[in-house]
A = this chain, B = another copy of it.
Amino acid sequence: MFELDLRSRAPVYEQLVEKIKELIINNVLKPDQQLPAVRVLASELTINPNTIQKAYRALEQRGYIYSVPGRGSFVKPAVPGNNMARLRALETELVKTVSEMRYLGVPPQEIITRIKMQLSEDEGGKLDD
């Protein structure tokens, strides 16, 4: 289900968090869908169950999944306008990324174009001013 880079400086549990978050955001894992059990995923990835639990706990704290003792862990349906702290962080991230692209010589026009392409893949929304 996942691929890990054990040589990376990023902790395995953080890599897991990022991979799973990505699957949720891109709707590969659907709302209320059950995630692999801690022990199952651990044996699949040949790592310790404690590491999986640490990742799941982090995902729960960040609002991406919920866990029910005895039943399992599930994808938490997104509540629009809920995670304001995360939105602020993303805004900051966006500013930094765009600044660095400008610094590296990417024309503003191209940056806008790229983002519009990305947004139009999601849904056929109207993006023209």
Contact of A81 among B93, B100, B101, B105 (CB under 8 A): B105
Which residues of A are at the interface with B, using a C-beta cutoff of 8 A? 21-22, 24-26, 78, 80-83, 86-87, 90-91, 93-106, 108-109, 111-112, 114-116, 118-119, 122, 125, 127-129
Q: Which residues of B contact A22 (CB under 8 A)?
A: 96
User: Are the C-beta atoms of A104 and B78 separated by less than 8 Å?
Assistant: yes
In the complex, A106 Cα to B83 Cα: how many Å? 11
User: Are the C-beta atoms of B80 and A105 separated by less than 8 Å?
Assistant: yes
Q: Shortest Cβ distance from A43 into chain B, in angstroms?
A: 28
With A82-B104, A98-B119 already in contact, 10 other A-B pairs whose C-beta atoms are closer than 8 Å: A21-B100, A22-B96, A78-B103, A78-B104, A80-B105, A81-B104, A94-B101, A94-B118, A108-B125, A111-B115
